[in-house]
């Protein structure tokens, strides 16, 4: 799954997630399959900080 392939509605829902678990549950509900690498990035520890504007994320241009 690449971020730039999501619909605007899916991006908005993802931006509302407050925890990694919420984001993973959203992906499952939307039928989005995450790679092991993506799951590791999402659940990578206690330093989870949701990004209010996805363009602030350093990886958004890479589509990951």
pTM of the model as a whole: 0.62
Give the whole-number percent of the chain exceeding pLDDT 70. Answer: 66
pLDDT one-digit tens code per residue, 10-35: 988 988 888 888 888 999 999 988 88
Residue 18: strand, helix, or coil:
coil
Residue 64 is predicted with a pLDDT of 47
Give the count of beta carbons closer than 10 Å to the beta carbon of residue 14.
19
Domain residue limits at 37: 3-62
Quote the pLDDT of residue 49: 56
Asked if 60 contacts 54 with a C-beta cutoff of 8 angstroms, the reply is: yes
State how many domains the chain has: 1
Between CA 59 and CA 33, with CA 11 as vertex, the angle to 5 degrees is 80
pLDDT of residue 51: 57
Cβ atoms of 23 and 14 closer than 8 Å:
yes
């Amino acid at each position: 799954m690449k971020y730039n392939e999501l619909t605007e509605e899916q991006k908005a829902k993802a931006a509302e997630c407050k925890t990694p678990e919420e984001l993973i549950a959203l992906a499952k509900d939307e039928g989005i399959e995450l790679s092991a690498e993506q799951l590791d990035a999402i659940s990578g520890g206690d330093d989870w900080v949701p990004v209010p504007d996805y363009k602030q994320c350093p990886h958004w241009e890479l589509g990951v």
